[in-house]
């Protein structure tokens, strides 16, 4: 059971790039989580700070208002008999009013009293004494604080109705606090404090502590991942070396197998062209037997062509892929019409035992331009196609039509080889994913019990497409038979 568990993981091969990607993803996740966590904490601290700033400002204002109310309630007018006692009360008022100003966050404090519909701001103890004990509202100087009076007028009806603390926030840090001032149970106004508390230093300290913790945590994770990387690299090192040797051995075996396959296919192709060379050699011998003074020029011309073709076949036996310059070269100036005529007159029509079963019809365009292709390479393209028409027509009398067409407007030439036979099977005209029809595949034939067939059309297609850069296609005719179209 344990071996099965480990065998499940052995099929996965981890390399350096996989571990680097894993490390990058983990670090990215860590940074993302840290950023989200930091943002959440910062939002929480900001909301907490806002609430605490307002709460502290209201508590301070409420404490000052309560102190003044208690002082007024415990002070009796009958006891105010001399200036000394009067000064003590004024001093007590000043202490209560000035004590909050000692804090950096408090900017302004005063009492707003309502007198006959008017709002009177009082910020000093003596004026507060005159107002409450001597009822001398006219002696209180009018403070130029229109902003505070305007804010109070906006809240006056709500404060009188609810007798509760109201706070107006200006910006992010300034709080205008209005506390109902109710000495002896009667509301006479409000205590106003302008407060701007600042607790950002607490937020900064918490965030900096969190950043330090996140950095330490990230460093520990990074060190752990590096340690895991080192251990895993050391652990799989021997396995990688063994796999590398296995891959090299496997590659070597595959290359040997490919070489054997190439040799086998090459041998079959040599066999396919060998019988052509044998046939040509028979023609050469026959021409030498009939050589006379009268036909010496024509025989010499044919034998020279035959010998060059045989030498070409022998040359092809040396190379699996012959050099390109031996196929396409500016020194070649091949007349395709002449090549076609020579093949018909001196190759196919010389077969006396079969020539009675087929005939040729030529429709050659004399304007067809010459090509820079070896004429014997052209032989290797056209000859298998003609032989295919003869072998697979399926009729006793076969008419093979060879037509050459040149279009000067499009600079395109065509060689069309057609017959009046039974045509090509539909299965052989199906194209694969590369657009190559099955008839042009290797070792495809309709002959029965034939081990060395199926190379004619394949060789024509490979030579035309790969070596000459031409196009070769096959199709059936509506009137019967088929045709091969060479376009270049």
Whether pLDDT at 165 is above 60: yes
Mean pLDDT is highest, among 214-218, 230-234, 464-468, 473-477, for 473-477
Whether pLDDT at 93 is above 60: yes
How far, in Å, CA of 12 to CA of 94, rounded?
A: 83
Residue 241 lies in a domain: no
How far, in Å, CA of 420 to CA of 231, rounded?
A: 76
Residue 341 lies in a domain: yes
Whether pLDDT at 268 is above 50: yes
User: Do residues 217 and 60 touch, judged by C-beta distance below 8 A?
Assistant: no
Higher pLDDT, 486 or 211: 486
Residue 370 lies in a domain: yes
207-223 residue pLDDT tens: 777 777 777 877 777 78
Confidence label for 76 from pLDDT (cuts 50, 70 and 90): low
Please state the φ and ψ torsions of residue 476, each to the nearest 5 degrees: -90, 155
377-409 residue pLDDT tens: 888 888 888 888 877 766 677 888 888 999 889
User: Do residues 211 and 38 touch, judged by C-beta distance below 8 A?
Assistant: yes
Please state the φ and ψ torsions of residue 479, each to the nearest 5 degrees: -80, 0
Residue ending a domain, among 160, 178, 198, is 198
Residue 153, pLDDT score = 81
293 backbone φψ class: left, alpha, beta (φ>0; ψ -120 to 50): alpha
Q: What is the mean pLDDT of residues 12-35?
A: 69
Q: Which two tokens stand for residue 307?
A: 């010998």
Residue 304, pLDDT score = 84
Residue 320, pLDDT score = 63
294-338 residue pLDDT tens: 888 888 888 888 888 877 777 766 666 677 787 888 888 888 888
Please list the residues that pair with 252 across neighbouring strands: none
User: Do residues 435 and 424 touch, judged by C-beta distance below 8 A?
Assistant: no
Residue 299 lies in a domain: no
Confidence label for 9 from pLDDT (cuts 50, 70 and 90): very low
DSSP 467: I
User: Do residues 334 and 366 touch, judged by C-beta distance below 8 A?
Assistant: no
Domain that holds residue 59: 19-198
How far, in Å, CA of 145 to CA of 107, rounded?
A: 13
Residue 305 lies in a domain: no
Residue 230 lies in a domain: no
How far, in Å, CA of 432 to CA of 437, rounded?
A: 6
| Mean per-residue pLDDT of the chain | 77
Residue 118 lies in a domain: yes
Residue 257, pLDDT score = 82
Residue ending a domain, among 150, 176, 198, is 198
Tokens 């005209």 correspond to 429
Lowest-confidence region among 52-66, 372-386, 415-429: 52-66
Please state the φ and ψ torsions of residue 414, each to the nearest 5 degrees: -140, 145
Whether pLDDT at 466 is above 70: yes
Which residues 6+ apart lie within 8 Å of 97 measured at CB? 64, 68, 109, 110, 111, 123, 124, 125, 128
Q: What is the CATH number of the domain that holds 392?
A: 3.30.565.10
Residue ending a domain, among 198, 229, 257, is 198
User: Do residues 403 and 364 touch, judged by C-beta distance below 8 A?
Assistant: yes
Whether pLDDT at 80 is above 50: no
Whether pLDDT at 177 is above 60: yes
CB atoms closer than 10 angstroms to residue 362? 13
Q: Tell me the percentage of the chain whose pLDDT exceeds 90.
A: 0
Lowest-confidence region among 10-19, 104-113, 303-312: 10-19
Residue 124 lies in a domain: yes
Q: What is the CATH number of the domain that holds 108?
A: 3.30.450.20
Confidence label for 351 from pLDDT (cuts 50, 70 and 90): low
Tokens 């657009």 correspond to 435
Residue 217, pLDDT score = 75
Number of domains observed in the structure of the chain: 2
Residue 294, pLDDT score = 84
Tokens 């002082």 correspond to 71
Residue 269, pLDDT score = 63
Q: What is the mean pLDDT of residues 30-36?
A: 75
């Amino acid at each position: 059971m344990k071996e099965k568990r480990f065998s499940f993981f052995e099929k996965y091969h981890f390399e350096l790039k996989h571990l680097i990607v894993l490390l990058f993803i983990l670090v990215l996740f860590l940074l993302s989580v840290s950023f989200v966590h930091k943002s959440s904490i910062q939002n929480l601290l900001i909301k907490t700070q806002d609430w605490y700033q307002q709460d502290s400002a209201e508590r301070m204002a409420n404490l000052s208002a309560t102190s003044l109310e208690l002082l007024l309630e415990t002070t009796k007018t009958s006891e105010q008999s001399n200036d000394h006692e009067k000064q003590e009360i004024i001093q007590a008022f000043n202490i209560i009013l000035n004590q909050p100003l000692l804090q950096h966050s408090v900017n302004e404090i005063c009492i707003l009293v309502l007198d006959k519909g008017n709002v009177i701001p009082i910020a000093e103890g003596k004026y507060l004494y005159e107002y409450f004990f001597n009822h001398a509202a006219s002696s209180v100087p009018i403070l130029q604080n229109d902003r505070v009076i305007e804010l109070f007028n906006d809240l006056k009806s709500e404060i009188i109705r609810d007798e509760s603390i109201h706070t107006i926030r200006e910006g992010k840090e300034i709080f205008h606090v209005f506390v109902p001032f109710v000495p002896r149970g009667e509301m006479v106004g409000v205590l106003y404090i302008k407060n701007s508390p600042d607790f950002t230093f607490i937020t900064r300290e918490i965030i900096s502590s969190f950043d330090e913790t996140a950095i330490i945590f990230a460093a520990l994770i990074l060190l752990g991942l590096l340690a895991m990387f080192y251990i895993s690299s050391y652990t799989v090192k021997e396995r990688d070396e063994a796999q590398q040797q296995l891959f090299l051995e496997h590659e070597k075996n595959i290359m040997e197998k490919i070489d054997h396959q190439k040799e086998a296919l090459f041998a079959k192709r040599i066999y396919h062209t060998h019988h052509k060379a044998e046939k040509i050699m028979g023609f050469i011998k026959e021409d030498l037997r009939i050589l006379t003074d009268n036909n010496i020029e024509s025989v010499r011309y044919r034998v020279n062509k035959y010998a060059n073709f045989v030498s070409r076949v022998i040359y092809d036996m040396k190379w699996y892929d012959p050099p390109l310059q031996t196929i396409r070269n500016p020194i070649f100036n091949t007349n395709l019409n002449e090549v076609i005529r020579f093949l018909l007159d001196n190759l196919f029509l010389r077969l006396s035992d079969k020539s009675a079963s087929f005939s040729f019809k030529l429709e050659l365009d004399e304007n067809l331009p010459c090509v820079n292709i070896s004429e014997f390479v052209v032989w290797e393209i056209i000859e298998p196609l003609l032989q295919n028409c003869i072998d697979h027509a399926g009729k006793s009398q076969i008419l093979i039509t060879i037509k050459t067409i040149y279009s000067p407007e499009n600079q395109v030439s065509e060689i069309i080889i057609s017959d009046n036979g039974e045509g090509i099977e539909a299965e052989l005209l199906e194209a694969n994913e590369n657009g190559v029809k099955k008839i042009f595949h290797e070792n495809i034939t309709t002959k029965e019990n034939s081990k060395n067939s199926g190379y004619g059309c394949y060789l024509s297609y490979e030579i035309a497409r790969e070596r000459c850069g031409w196009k070769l296609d096959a199709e059936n005719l509506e009137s019967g038979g088929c045709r091969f179209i060479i376009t270049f």
